[in-house]
Structure 1
Amino acid sequence: MATNGLTTTGELEKRTIAKLRWRIIPFVMLLYFIAYLDRVNIGFAALTMNADIGLSSAAFGFGAGIFFVGYFIFEVPSNLILHKVGARRWIARIMVTWGVVSMAMALVQGETSFYILRFLLGVAEAGFFPGIILYLSYWFPARHRASMTALFMAAVPLSVALGSPISGALLELDGLLGLKGWQWMFLLEGAPAIILAWFVLKYLTDRPDRADWLNDDEREWLLAEMAEEARNTKPAHDWREGLTALKNPRVLALSLVYFGTSAGLYTLSIWSPQMIAQFGTTPLMTGLFNAVPAIFAVIAMILWSMHSDKTGERNWHVVIACLVAAGGLILAAYASSLMAVLLALVIVNVGVSSAKPPLWSMPTMFLGGAAAAAGIATINSIGNLGGFFGPYIIGWVLEVTSSYKGGLFAVAALLVLSSILVLVLARTGLSKTKNASSNGEHHA
């Protein structure tokens, strides 16, 4: 009878997780697809916009990165509000505001307006990504979380793979109705966020106990499973307790790890179109070439995170992926042909993308409730300052030396430091949860 009971429970878990996956993941992937596209499409706009409004490489790099300053300031408050008022309403609010600001980028006229609108875009989007990570932790048990997070985060390379040709094609609308191609790109790629906000209000369910689309036995199993996990973490029940997560050494350490991966990701996303275009490709061909590395990254991310979930190991899955990305950046620094640059971009994309899902499986293993909301937001906000450093250092070095080499070396060094820090965490035991055995996780 025990065997039959275990079999029945296993079948119930499999059925419930499958239903959750199909109900939640494709939709949040679509939302993140649009968010990431609006965040990094300036990489394509720069192909013509910089000359039109007189932006230097250093000014462009600074403006591209200042997004993350606004993001940093408002990230933690935004995620705590989401935890309090519910994902459905707060994510819809975020999407409307970022869509409006993204479309307003079509009005940029020089350095000052470029800086202001990029900063405001960061403010508007603050809370979206960590909000979704927190939202997934409400629905998926820890042993399934890395693979579910990977599916969600596959929207990043998919956004590059599908969005790059679209952005390149929109740049060729130059002159239509008196607008520049980059203005059409901002207008047409910003509008979907506003439209999708309405669907968020209609489609998202805040918590499992409100999921009338689950069968009774599926809902009961999920609620019991998540309640058991909650007992094995240290939940915080209000914002005051949640802010204690900001002093947690594991949270601060993971923030620094994420800083390196973010520097790598946004260096790629914002500068790769120009790195490709230096070989004389048209905007459309640049978009098509830029899509290639992202396709490899999608596959690698999903397979790597599935292996991480299967083995229950997190540390080495982050370390190896970061070192692969660092190696790709070094290769890119020495690449002297289009094919060599594309190969390097494939390696960097695969490494950076694969590092993130196992990394994001760590915080909710030792934090719960408002502490999880604050902790995840802290990691994302501090870590994403790497998104300021990476693009800015590339632009500054390019302005001074007329070469990408020094900037790429600096970002590669950050990824190596991320790897070392994860190993230090593992050796000191700070990356392990006290109740690992009870939730199916062995290593954070």
Structure 2
Amino acid sequence: MAQEPINIFARIADPAGVAAFLREHAPRVELDGPDGTWENAVVTFGRGRSEQVLTFRHSAEYYSEPGWSDQMAGMRGYFARFPDTPRKEKVLLLTTTFRFSLGTLFEPDFDPDGDPRLSLLFALTQALDGVLFTPSGLRDASGRVLFSARGEEGEDPGAEWPKVHGSVSLDSPLGAAMHDASRPRAADEGPPEGAAPPAPGRVARRALALTAVTARAILEQDDPQSETVQRTYADLLAWVGEIGIDPEFEPPEREVLHRPLGQLTGRQQADATWRLEGLVVLAWALKRYEIPPHDEVVPLNPLWCSLGLLNAGDAQDLLARPELRSREEISALRNRQFAVHWRLRDQYLAPKPMDFAAFARTCRFGPLDITGLPLVEGDLAIGGERIDRAPPERFRAALSTALERHVAANWLWEGPETYSEASSAT
């Protein structure tokens, strides 16, 4: 039976990056053009009668305006006809983030079980922070069903969402609502109606849960057969049990924590590792650690030590006597994180320098608090370079760092109950 056609949709538009990824991860690949403008990337597995081919099809015209907006409106219309489930609204919002697409052609058709071409497809989709579109629904970067034409019964509870869930104009009603939930606020203004800022004890439990999750993710970098690694993992699980924080883990976090060594997906490991940048914000709020500059990632061992990793006595002391910084301090941090995240996100969407200092004073959703941020020629600096001149890898790291710290700051300010659902809107 013929399999459904599969297309990648993603927020990261990087055909040259795709070309480089395929050269590094595919057995044999041939492109029919330069790295930035190729139309067909032909990947070949095996030889002779066992040969299998996966062709990635790329058209810059397809994901360019004005047609792209119509394409995405059509996708939303298509998904709107699916049965109503709790995920529908989030899926419709997710389509607003898409800036890139790749088609696929399998020759011969793929085998759902164990086909190496699917493994390559999934790895590329993970690298693009994308999803897989098929006529029957939307799948995550590991092929699990996010949203199904069969309704909720066809959805996989373990499916993982891309890091960014929505990207809409501030002028639209939806964009205005998203922005209002995350915009800078004075400390005396308070969080919006219905917000539920976490109490000190909850912040302590969440910090220790993220400590465990990030430690598990870092262990994945080591040899799973090493006795030292296995012993450390056993100590980690014992520590979690001894301090009694199991109810705090969200389902995807619990899966990461208990997945056997060496068996995390690349996406699970990357997402859990980046949670270190949200964890440092919680540790700061608990008066345990200082937040590094926006263009530096946090050193993990001192951060973990400050929260009592593998030291049940220290962790239990934190749980027994948690102390949070003032609402004024949290508000100030949240506003600065908004400013940093906004500038990095804007540069990602429209790469060009700007007078960020002037913008921060005069923008309609400001003024923005850029106190202490390094500027070069009026714009945000990364590693001492103006943002548009920063090395791409440092820019990407700063953007991921800003997103995680912004989520944590918003959660401290207004909740919601589920940490991973805190706003990252700019």
Scaled to the shorter chain, the TM-score interval is under 0.3
TM-score by length of 2: 0.24
Higher relative contact order (CA 8 A, sep 6+): 1
TM-score by length of 1: 0.24
Structure number with bigger Rg? 2
More strand by percentage? 2
More helix by percentage? 1
